[in-house]
Amino acid sequence: MRTLTDAECEEAAALVQNRQLRPTMRRLPVPARADIPARFRDPQARPAGLFEDGILLACMIPRLGPGLGWGRGPCLVLSSVHTLPGQSDDILRMITLWASDYAARLGLPVVRTEVWASHTLGIDPVATLLRRYTDMGWDVRGSGPGREGDRVARLELPAEHRSGLSALIDCRVHEPQPAKGARRRT
């Protein structure tokens, strides 16, 4: 897991565009048309990516929070999390382990993120996705409007030092900046 270079930011933007096109091609509901790929090209965003053998498996924008408009207290916010299509839950598991450990190393109590939820949380396909998250340790903190106005499920993960994780995931991610509306830790 590392902060992306300029060239890798372009690769991440392409991955996000690919992920945004897939539901459209299948005539499925899609989130609001926010220019998320542009966020990965913004030098101030400082996105991070999960790599294996030089292949970008996932990208996200880590920030200090709360910054999502819900939840109290400081946290690590993972915004715009996108994974390479056709990959297994192992990517989500790796992100979960890394985020929990990284937040603990930053002295933060939790990690927060939002998952687009076009349906009621108890109805598939949203329910199946949320079960995958909860099986990995995330807590569902309800639903509501997300940053772009779409309905989202709100997820929170306790921070936890995970000794030995560095043998599995090398972390070279910058210290995140405060999310919009959040005050910097002192």
- Cα angle 65, 122, 71 (rounded to 5 degrees) comes to 15
Question: Among residues 90, 118, 83, 101, which one has the least CA distance to residue 163?
Answer: 101
pLDDT in tens, 64-106: 987 677 888 999 999 989 888 877 678 999 999 999 999 999 9
DSSP summary character for residue 5: P
Instruction: Determine phi and psi for 82, rounding to 5 degrees.
Output: -135, 140
pLDDT band at 178 (very low <50, low <70, confident <90, very high): confident
- Enumerate the β-bridge partners of residue 59: 49, 82
Structure-token match 């937040």, residue found: 103
Domain 2-178 = CATH 2.60.40.10: no
- Distance between CA atoms of residues 92 and 10, nearest Å: 22
Q: Which residue in 33, 40, 31 sits closest to 4, CA to CA?
A: 40
| Mean residue pLDDT across the chain | 83
Residue 35 has pLDDT above 90, yes or no: no
CA dist., res. 64 & res. 66, Å (int): 7
Residue extents of the structural domains in the chain: 2-178
Q: What is the pTM of this model?
A: 0.83
pLDDT for res 104: 94
pLDDT of residue 171: 75
What pLDDT was estimated at residue 57? 94
pLDDT of 25 reads: 56
Task: Please determine, for residue 40, whether its predicted confidence score (pLDDT) is greater than 60.
Answer: yes
34 touches 82 (CB < 8 A): no
pLDDT at res. 167:
64
